Structure 1
């Protein structure tokens, strides 16, 4: 097996203005990695490399040159990849400073090893026998826009909603939560909120107290990342369970992962393979969190269906009953069409539906 890598840029177009506390997305640049076997070019694996502006540590001006350099090095080595040496190759080929690149190569190589059929892991999900419960994501915007999204998610059968907060008037955000709680108990509808670090440290306690009125499942990253002492204090005292998200980005050393979680003691962590350096790094976070009795779930990070497919298959390797954050497949006008479908608040792999890669212009 002689493997060769190349990449293609694809500009994803949002169906609406997707608001977060860091700004509004209307389009998303992503890179599709193609790794083929020179002995059989019809067999190829696809991986997605999708750094996020303002969030990924590898969102750098010369990113395309970085991709070229990694592909050139990979192609020059004439590698043979097997399950036992995959992580060794990844650790030596790609620096931890480029987590999205590592995720793309890892999943493309797993795809190749499984016959180039977009199968990353053989499990009940890929066989169509298991679905993955997911949360319905409500993006920031005007109060009316957010309320309309809530209604759409409820009508679509979601029983866990995640609302992005921190961009509009806080009282308006509370009134949206109140309107949901007036109709549905916590047993009927679970509510998560994601502040994306929007709260100032000095106001976080007061805002968490106000949010607790609505019996929330959790809040993601209430304050900006890397304020370890402040976050540890909030995790200890908060009336709303805290989930770390951005806090994990850039922490690649196993010992540092352990130290961080022991220090902050969050109730949950949220794993985004593109931002954290791939599946092996997520395995380490899960192993540490499990030992420390910290809950976790996995979330996509605005990837196309190529990246979402790999993340969903990885998620299905675990028996985690919590709803996952994998409902982003319907965000784009020009996503890559495939078997992933959302039904009644769950992600399903439709084995009767084939991948259509024509939009990538291979």
Structure 2
């Protein structure tokens, strides 16, 4: 099988300044990777390489150089890709998780006919939706309240609020206002601190958050503080979900060591950050062996990456809302069959995919 790899740089433009405790994001540079066979050049598999500034280990100035290197190796047939097989070690992609995810999904798409249908399941057939949380971005109190009202009107039964960017008292007031309108048996609330709390203040803040029947908090303290995170997981009144903590943890042994040391109630998987779908599947298996629950989340990819993650997610028994409601973030997203209805993500088969940028 002789494959050709092409790539297209593209800059996604946010509809608003997407704020986290790490700062605001206005745009997101991505690379679309396409694979085709010489014998059938019209059949094209597509993947998305979309590392995030300040978060992804492969958000580096030499990323495009690495993509060119991989393209040269594949196009010259010095390295051969096989449909259905892991990516060859000769590509040296261990430190390039976003690129691994892009190649892995492009190859899977090509294997299945280049129609953006990577898996055959009830979701990709348009028979079932995937429950998702409504994402509430940081901003002033009015901006956050406006988002909350829209999500509740849209039928969401689970909201995720980014916290750590406003005065903590203000954030608690916003949570109080939600709970006054909607009790815990009608609405699940998750919060994401993106590592904003210091280890010294974290437990007291978690105690205050617990008053609002919070389902979970993502990454209360910065990653890499394993002893402190393990203590928080053991004693926190709000269950903790590891997110950034998983980034850069490579290989099965390292994953097992992390889970056994910290013992989190939940882990959150972003394939772009943790090394693709196969790596995510390994995390899921290890977590389930330890009775650790999990959910998948987009790392702000466009609809190309979001589609791959959503179809992969639907291959599993889903017990919790997933973090896959990011398809409406960009002015210039790729048109897709992905649609949100009543707090669920659906694949509307009658809708067509838009063209990739040239």
- Aligned pair in 2 of structure 1 residues 287, 258: CA closer, same or farther (>3 Å)? same
Q: Give 1:51's aligned residue.
A: 51
Contact 1:47 1:307 in 2 (8 A): yes
Alpha-carbon deviation of 1:80? 5.1
**Residues 183-222 of structure 1: matches in 2 within 5 Å?**
183-222=181-220
Of 147, 162, 168, the match for 1:149? 147
- Aligned pair in 2 of structure 1 residues 90, 279: CA closer, same or farther (>3 Å)? farther
Contact 1:12 1:28 in 2 (8 A): yes
Alpha-carbon deviation of 1:90? 4.0
Deviations 1:253-301 (A, max 9, x none): 1011001001100010000000000000001100000000000000000
Deviations 1:8-55 (A, max 9, x none): 011101111110001101111111001111111100100000010000
In 2, Cα distance between the equivalents of 1:115 and 1:234?
47
Which ranges of structure 1 fall in alignment gaps of 5 or more residues? Answer: none
Deviations 1:112-136 (A, max 9, x none): 0001111111111110011000000
Q: Give 1:81's aligned residue.
A: 82
Q: Secondary structure in 1 aligned to 2:214?
A: coil
Which ranges of structure 2 fall in alignment gaps of 5 or more residues? Answer: none
Q: TM-score, with normalisation over the residues of structure 2?
A: 0.98
Q: Give 1:226's aligned residue.
A: 224
- Aligned pair in 2 of structure 1 residues 269, 182: CA closer, same or farther (>3 Å)? same
Alpha-carbon deviation of 1:91? 3.6
Of 99, 123, 140, the match for 1:125? 123
In 1, Cα distance between the equivalents of 2:130 and 2:110?
24
Q: Secondary structure in 1 aligned to 2:305?
A: helix
In 2, Cα distance between the equivalents of 1:142 and 1:75?
50
Contact 1:94 1:101 in 2 (8 A): no
Contact 1:235 1:265 in 2 (8 A): yes
Residue 284, structure 1, aligned to residue 282, structure 2: yes
In 2, Cα distance between the equivalents of 1:18 and 1:93?
34
Deviations 1:309-350 (A, max 9, x none): 000000000011200000000000000001000110000000
Q: TM-score, with normalisation over the residues of structure 1?
A: 0.97
In 2, Cα distance between the equivalents of 1:266 and 1:55?
21
Q: Give 2:114's aligned residue.
A: 116
Q: Give 1:239's aligned residue.
A: 237
Contact 1:47 1:108 in 2 (8 A): yes
Root mean square deviation of aligned Cα: 0.9
Moved >3 Å (runs of 4+) = none
Contact 2:81 2:88 in 1 (8 A): no
- Aligned pair in 2 of structure 1 residues 268, 90: CA closer, same or farther (>3 Å)? farther
